[in-house]
Amino acid sequence: MKASKYLSIVQKNPRYRVNYNPIYAILEGLYVQKSSEELQHKYLINEIINEELTKDFKIGGHPDYDYLLNEIKEEKDFYNENNQVANVKLCSLFIDLRNFTKRALFVQDPGIETIQEIAKLKQKAISTWIKLARYYQGHIHSITGDGLMVLIGGKKPEDEDEWTIGARAFLIALRVLESADFLNDELKQTLIEKGKESYATNSHNLLNIKVGIEYSPETLMNPQGVIVNINGEKKPVGEVKATAFEIDFSAKLLGYYNDAEKKLDGSPKYGRILLFGEKYKELMDFNDEIDVVYLSEYSRQMFDTTQTRKLYYMDCKELKYNIITLEDVAKKCNVYNASETAKNVSINIAREEKIQHG
């Protein structure tokens, strides 16, 4: 069993206890409403997301380490170890739309989708993932071709516990996989409205999302870029990057998606596979309720040495929509709460005096 202080994080940050799936708040908005409970939950979640997207939000770098770039005055400063931070514990999460590039090939022939519709679809996916990542306090490190790289971890109170970093990455991954269902429902509806029902039932015409996670316990946060001269003043232009094998490995994992998909039973197969590396597996210590499947080995030779890393996957079909809170994740892992209990303190009750009875 792994000791974790996740409860003290949950205690201070109730978003990790909100018992309502944020994907509904993001993709259903406030329009589809089944009950007043749902409506209040959607307001609450949207409030959190809106705050995240206005408060110092940026894409690229990492807000906790972006100050490193400001320390750069000259080219040599990029190499100065004092301008770098080592041993940062991060989870790297890589999300990618599978086989999305090819969609634009068919704009003219057979012309079912327009280029605007394809762009709209991608924008919807990317913006949804950004909102989800921010809801769980992940940082958007970069927007890639058809995907996103998210870093979870840093210097904030919520980053203090390494298992919690992994659990937050897991929650983002599940929500991202759920987004495939919503986006495909919308895509199917569009095809039906265009009178192309037969295409709506063929999974090759639908969206699929690949998600990979790896844990990087010894990341180097270092500024990268160049010095530019603006009106005689030298200024660094670039961003702070996370450097570690594990950081980039989350993207490499996605190359094994097809191997994992072949092993899935039932359909649809989209939005189900979460790929991860051995460091993440070790960090999370999933219990027997979760079927972690060994997939392959990543092996490379250099300097007369061979290095190998194991790859795993899990089928998230039964986990999606059921794992909502951080405590839900804890129930699926060999983890116990090691948060410090409240200390004896001098009591000062904040209740306004009023008659209350029961």
Query: Is residue 348 near another protein by the rule CB under 8 A?
Result: yes
In the bound state with another protein, the residue whose beta carbon lies nearer, of 204 and 354, is 354
Query: Does the protein bind another protein through residue 355 (CB under 8 A)?
Result: yes
**The binder of another protein chosen from 7, 88, 171, 183 (CB under 8 A):** 7
- Residue at 347: amino acid letter: I
For another protein, the binding residues in 277-316 under the rule CB under 8 A are: none
Residue 47's Cβ-count burial label (10 Å; 0-12, 13-18, 19+) is exposed
For residues 141 and 169, the answer to whether their CB atoms sit within 8 Å is: no
Residue 353 sits in the site that holds another protein (CB under 8 A): yes
Residue 42 C-beta: closest distance to another protein, Å: 13
Cα–Cα distance for residue pair 232/150, rounded to 1 Å? 36
Residue in the structure block whose two tokens are 């759920």: 178
Eight-class DSSP state of 339: P
What residues between 15 and 34 interact with another protein by CB under 8 A? 15, 17-20
Query: Which residue in the set 44, 107, 118, 220 belongs to the binding site for another protein (CB under 8 A)?
Result: 44
The rounded distance, in Å, linking the Cα atoms of 345 and 284 is: 35
Question: How many Å is the maximal CA-CA distance in the chain?
Answer: 79
Does residue 55 bind another protein (CB under 8 A)?
A: no
Tell me the per-residue interface mask from 312 to 341 with another protein, x by CB under 8 A, - otherwise: -------------x-xx--x-----x-x-x
The size of the interface with another protein (CB under 8 A), counted in residues, is 38
Is residue 345 part of the contact set for another protein (CB under 8 A)? yes
- Return d(Cα 279, Cα 290) in angstroms, integer: 17
Question: How many beta carbons lie within 10 A of that of residue 18, not counting itself?
Answer: 17
Which positions lie near another protein, rule CB under 8 A? 7, 10-15, 17-20, 36-37, 40, 44, 325, 327-328, 331, 337, 339, 341-343, 345-358
